[in-house]
A and B are shown apart, each in its own frame.
Chain A
Amino acid sequence: MAEQRVEKMADYCIRAENLTKSFSGKGRNNSKVLYRDLSLAVRPGEIVGLFGPSGCGKSTLGDILLSLQLPDRGNVFWNGVNVLQAGRKKRKALRPLFQKIHQDPGSSFPPHQLVGEALYDIVRLRNPALAGEGYRQQMAAAAQEVHLDEKLLDRYPIQLSGGEIQRFALARALLNNPVFLVADEPTSRLDYSVQANIIRLLMRLAEKRRIGILLISHDRSLLQVACERIMTLKEEDNKI
């Protein structure tokens, strides 16, 4: 069994081994172990759910997988490469492939910048050879992929609804051709009808573009619809 798993390791877009993370807060009794020896792996095209109450470390786990936070112990592999031991250059090359969309869509775009400009930066970064109309076409295609009208690119974040801006956040992440995406409570601030649209969109994209997704949510029934596997985090030590 173990050998079989070793063979398949390269199949995972992200894999974490024996993660341990604890918080040390100020004052007495304030440190808290989030998890000990936690391992998980996500295959391309698969949506894995992460469930647990507030403060149990769901977002922290997402951040550790994306190497935005460091674990106390354990390893994270991106496409089979150990991120924590990889050199800066190697990590930088891989980083765009591992993306995140946030809970509060309004705060994930700079307020003084048109959303089009925010997307333009990514397009230019990824396709330095493009010229003139090419940029606009790429941006329009990105908007279309998340079912948004191209005209919305010329608006400020505040002029868009929560669902629209969350889709732009998704479009921005997709422009990097990610292999893995952490969706951290992407719909907890959105309405039911909008939530249904966004989650269905994520499911379609995971299948079409073979992206592995870690969907973090505190809504179990949502995860039951969207995910093949659900991981539940429990609070180990309840001191806050």
Chain B
Amino acid sequence: MRTPLLQVNDLTIRSVAQRKRLVADVSFTVSRGEAFTLIGETGSGKTLVAQAVCSCLPEELVAGGAVDFKGVNLARLPAKEKRRIYGKELFLLPQEPNSALDPVMLVAGQVSEIFRYVRRYDPQELRHTLAALFSDLGLSLSGNGRLYPCQLSGGMQQRILLAIGLAVPAEFIVVDEPTKGLDAISRASAVKKLKNLLSKGKTLLCITHDLSVARALGGRMAVMYGGYIVESGDVWQLLDAPKHPYTRGLVNAAPENGLIPIAEEVLAAMKTAWQNG
């Protein structure tokens, strides 16, 4: 049994203004060196869980329950301590590169900040590493690097974001939708990069709606719907023999499994089950 790096217990997130529970009773542990994938559709609360794990929820939301990273509850740490951990031990790679990247800064500069200020490389070493990282992702430092995010295609922006994720020294990385908007080839290469991180001994919490990403990363996963965890377990076991009707529906909705929409009855049944607590 590997030691748990992250322990989430009964995490509940509510919106005070809307008087609504957005995430309820989410519990899972991520062990050192493994991949844990959270799968769910838009609005299932998976991004909120990622933000709660990194203790960077939007201000109007309140989190209950406990999130322990290396045995320390991040939410209770003073801001200065959090800042020390953030980026060096724990890192959140946000989704939507459109809003995550700085629109008025050249993309090469955004990636190089990690090497310059977090890893403290000297300029020559930095340029060399940066060029290698860019070409590794199929980009060129002198060409694409000298552009602003809006001048790049969605897939290229996503790869720039991934470059930042690969550059950080943090051992625990939360990646939110790393493959959204990528074509099959770039998706495969992005997943391969994530697997490389794993083989370097890093720990991943991957948020995605793409079942093939979960399969490729392996490890364990949890399926979320409407703010709850529906089912969790070993990736292969769960996807090959899903027990919950929703997970079964999700697997069958994938194009390679026949593109069958999830039955309305299944969704309706889950909604009533939750309303009754």
Contact = CB atoms under 8 A, between A and B. Distances in A.
27 contacts: A53-B183, A53-B184, A54-B183, A54-B186, A163-B42, A192-B41, A192-B253, A192-B254, A193-B41, A193-B249, A196-B253, A196-B255, A196-B259, A196-B261, A196-B262, A199-B259, A200-B259, A218-B183, A219-B184, A219-B255, A220-B184, A221-B254, A221-B256, A224-B255, A225-B255, A225-B258, A226-B259
Given A53-B183, A224-B255, 18 more contacts: A53-B184, A53-B185, A54-B155, A54-B183, A162-B42, A163-B42, A188-B181, A189-B181, A190-B42, A192-B211, A192-B250, A193-B261, A195-B253, A218-B184, A221-B255, A221-B256, A225-B258, A226-B259
Which residue, of B210, B261, B262, has the highest number of chain A Cβ atoms within 10 A?
B261
What is the interface residue range for chain B against chain A? Answer: 20 to 34
A194 interface: yes
Nearest to B210: A192
B180 interface: yes
Interface string B181-224: 11111100000000000000000000001110000000000000
Contacts of A226: 259
Interface string A27-39: 0000000000000
A53 B186 CA distance: 9
Given A54-B153, A161-B43, A222 B184 contact: no
Contacts of A199: 259
Interface in A150-204: 161-163, 188-197, 199-200
Interface string B169-184: 0000000000011111
Contacts of A221: 254-256
A14 to B, nearest CB: 25
A193 B249 CA distance: 8
A197 B259 CA distance: 8
Given A55-B153, A199-B259, A222-B259, A191 B42 contact: yes
A199 B155 CA distance: 23
B260 interface: yes
Contacts of A163: 42
B209 A191 contact: yes
Nearest to B251: A192
A55 to B, nearest CB: 7
B66 to A, nearest CB: 29
Interface in A106-164: 161-163
A191 B41 contact: yes
A225 B259 CA distance: 7
A161 B42 CA distance: 8
Contacts of A219: 184, 255
Contacts of A222: 255, 259
Contacts of A190: 42
Interface string B228-271: 00000000000000000000011001111011111000000000
Interface in A199-237: 199-200, 218-222, 224-226
A103 to B, nearest CB: 8
Contacts of A193: 41, 249-250, 253, 261-262
